[in-house]
Structure 1
Amino acid sequence: MLPRDTAQRLTLPSLAALAAFEAAARHLSFTKAAEELNLTQGAVSRQVAGLEDQLGLKLFERVRQRVVLTAAGAAYAAEVRDGLARLSAATVNAMAFRGAGGVLNLAILPTFGTRWLIPRLPGFFQRNPSVTINFATRVLPFDFAHEGLDAAIHFGDAVWPGARLHRLMGEEIVPVASPALIARAGLKQPADVLSVPLLQQATRPRAWAQWLVAQGLAPDRAVMGPRFEQFAMVAQAAVAGLGLAIVPRFLVEEELKSGALAVPFDRPVTSAEAYYLVYPEEKANRPAVAAFRDWLVGECAAA
């Protein structure tokens, strides 16, 4: 019996064949695939034919002078495309290790990333010029083992199995609206919010209920209103006068300073949850992770 790793190598198609198949599957054309890969159409056809022989199944069939994927071909194409993308990313990451600091693949919350973190990053890169950070957006917890990410900015409770968490900051949430809406709706006291649409943020479904209860109001209408995926979208909807938003104050500082948004009654509620830097236990001593952790924790402490 062949060793397992030897058997795997014998059944693994060549990268050239996989690249030719993926391009042909994406374009549904051997001619366009050949143009993309700078090959002849015949070379692409031979690569795909060899791959079909190795797999023992048809990946394409001809229908009315065009090629279409078989059911097996369509399923295989999705897996191959994902695998080639992972290999490409791994290669870029490996090349980045030519610097001393390495690579940090970081998941960020979209609005926190664009409005708070990224404007401060020049300070990090001044201290750590050899570290490369790759950014991805995630709004919900995920499995580090399957995402290829080294660390994440997380909002919620201090719970993430198999990972270390460092508390960064809490937040105050406040109601905000455009000055025109505040004047038009006559928003003068907390109970007045019940007369206007309440803009909802998808990952904070309890935010309005928490604020209403803190004001001694019934939360009956707390989840009624247009729903948005990100705080930036909620803030823009509020600027446009679509309703009243409940948001972390520090994420709308620019709109508050410019007058695009206003707080009709300054009765903030402190969130029970907080922002955390989180990363797997086994990556705690990676130079890029450690450098980013030390800088970010210090940055938040000074903020």
Structure 2
Amino acid sequence: MSIKLPPLNALKVFEVAARKLSFSQAAMELCVTQGAVSKQIKALEEHLQLPLFYRTPKGLELTAPGKLYLPTIMSALEQIHSSTVTLQQFSAEVQHLVLDISPSLSSLWMIPRLHLLDERFPSLRLSLISGDGAYQFNQSSADVAIRCLPLSLSHQNATLLTKEILLPVMHKDLLVNSPINEAKDLLKHSLIRPTTRPQLWNQCFNRFIGDDYGDNVPTSRHAFEHFFMSLEVVKQKQGIALIPEFLVENLLIDNQNEDEQIESLSNKELVNPLGLKYESGYGYYFLTPSFRHQDPMIKQLLEWFQVNLSDV
């Protein structure tokens, strides 16, 4: 009788979570959300019909089946990784690509995942340059580009990777003196303005408050060009910024997550008050010149971005 094997992704998540004995630390190593780690562990436990972790007040502990399972899974994953790298290096020639990518996407998302890119493409030598706005390949030396653009079907040689979903993000300490119990309470805090897209806060308030601000008046002191700048200002407790969800989700405290309530929150200080979010009407596009559409490496790189811009 054949036995259905558990998904490889779930096994990889189990190995990291068991080694760290922490779902939050596993999420950081895998560059995914803590919720995604919890989901994969739950799926694996359901597949095996066995519990792998105890959730205790002090954190995570491996069950007896978990302790028995871990060494075998670690060995198997190492063998798969080693064999895959050997095979790819044996057959692949070194390839060089220049990627022109938005600054915030590069610093907050791409660079933390370079190890994943290296594992998938050991023969790739990537040069990253940065820029924003509409892109013309005839004015640049880049082979591919990633840009945040208004959602449209008319962008040429473009593949939508993900829609932009914005969250109001702030430091948890700001809630002590000025709590947020409803959307209007956002107006009690200083708003960090984006210089290149000044309409974003108006869109946010129209979505959640409407035109009735009551006695509250939006206030802001400084404005910043890029999301990574605004995020740093948020960390310094200077106000609330609108940040794309996939750029900040690993940094947010999730008060609804049971596992995160158990584990230490010392490495997370940011919150999304009330869990508010909205689609901005923009999206992140993978752009290629028409004559490179069928390039095998570029096609594989596109697939990698599509997979890694979603949870494990």
Please say which structure displays the higher CA radius of gyration.
1
Instruction: State the partner residue of 1:270.
Output: 279
Using the TM superposition, give the Cα deviation of residue 302 of structure 1 relative to its aligned residue in structure 2, in angstroms. 5.7
Please, what is the CA RMSD of the aligned residues? Answer: 2.7
How has the CA–CA distance of structure 1 residues 168 and 177 changed in structure 2, closer, same or farther, with 3 Å as cutoff? same
CA distance in 2, matches of 1:160, 1:147: 23
Q: What amino acid does structure 1 have at the position aligned with 2:275? A: D
- Could you tell me which runs of 5 or more consecutive residues in structure 1 were left unpaired when the two chains were aligned: 1-98
1:298 to 296, 299, 307: 307
Cα displacement string for residues 72-110 of structure 1 (whole angstroms, at most 9, x for unaligned residues): xxxxxxxxxxxxxxxxxxxxxxxxxxx735221101122
- Could you tell me which runs of 5 or more consecutive residues in structure 2 were left unpaired when the two chains were aligned: 1-91, 254-266
Instruction: State the partner residue of 1:279.
Output: 288
Instruction: State the partner residue of 2:247.
Output: 251
How has the CA–CA distance of structure 1 residues 286 and 222 changed in structure 2, closer, same or farther, with 3 Å as cutoff? farther
Q: What amino acid does structure 2 have at the position aligned with 1:271? A: S
How has the CA–CA distance of structure 1 residues 216 and 290 changed in structure 2, closer, same or farther, with 3 Å as cutoff? same
CA distance in 1, matches of 2:235, 2:207: 25
- Does structure 1 conserve the Cα–Cα contact (< 8 Å) formed by 2:146 and 2:284? yes
- Does structure 2 conserve the Cα–Cα contact (< 8 Å) formed by 1:158 and 1:165? no
Using the TM superposition, give the Cα deviation of residue 138 of structure 1 relative to its aligned residue in structure 2, in angstroms. 0.9
1:240 to 236, 251, 254: 236
How has the CA–CA distance of structure 1 residues 142 and 164 changed in structure 2, closer, same or farther, with 3 Å as cutoff? closer
Instruction: State the partner residue of 1:133.
Output: 126
- Does structure 2 conserve the Cα–Cα contact (< 8 Å) formed by 1:168 and 1:301? no
Using the TM superposition, give the Cα deviation of residue 234 of structure 1 relative to its aligned residue in structure 2, in angstroms. 0.7
How has the CA–CA distance of structure 1 residues 276 and 142 changed in structure 2, closer, same or farther, with 3 Å as cutoff? closer
Instruction: State the partner residue of 1:183.
Output: 176
CA distance in 2, matches of 1:277, 1:167: 6
Instruction: State the partner residue of 1:152.
Output: 145
1:121 aligns with 2:130: no
- Does structure 1 conserve the Cα–Cα contact (< 8 Å) formed by 2:180 and 2:186? yes
How has the CA–CA distance of structure 1 residues 186 and 127 changed in structure 2, closer, same or farther, with 3 Å as cutoff? closer
- Does structure 1 conserve the Cα–Cα contact (< 8 Å) formed by 2:246 and 2:309? no
CA distance in 1, matches of 2:310, 2:250: 22
May I ask how many residue pairs the two structures share in their alignment?
Answer: 205
- Does structure 1 conserve the Cα–Cα contact (< 8 Å) formed by 2:133 and 2:149? no
How has the CA–CA distance of structure 1 residues 222 and 281 changed in structure 2, closer, same or farther, with 3 Å as cutoff? farther
Instruction: State the partner residue of 1:231.
Output: 227
- Does structure 2 conserve the Cα–Cα contact (< 8 Å) formed by 1:211 and 1:269? yes
1:261 to 270, 279, 284: 270
How has the CA–CA distance of structure 1 residues 164 and 231 changed in structure 2, closer, same or farther, with 3 Å as cutoff? same
Secondary structure of 1:233 counterpart: helix
Using the TM superposition, give the Cα deviation of residue 238 of structure 1 relative to its aligned residue in structure 2, in angstroms. 1.3
Among all aligned residue pairs of Structure 1 and Structure 2, give the percentage whose two residues are the same amino acid: 24
- Does structure 2 conserve the Cα–Cα contact (< 8 Å) formed by 1:191 and 1:217? no
Q: Which has the higher contact order (CA 8 A, sep 6+)?
A: 2
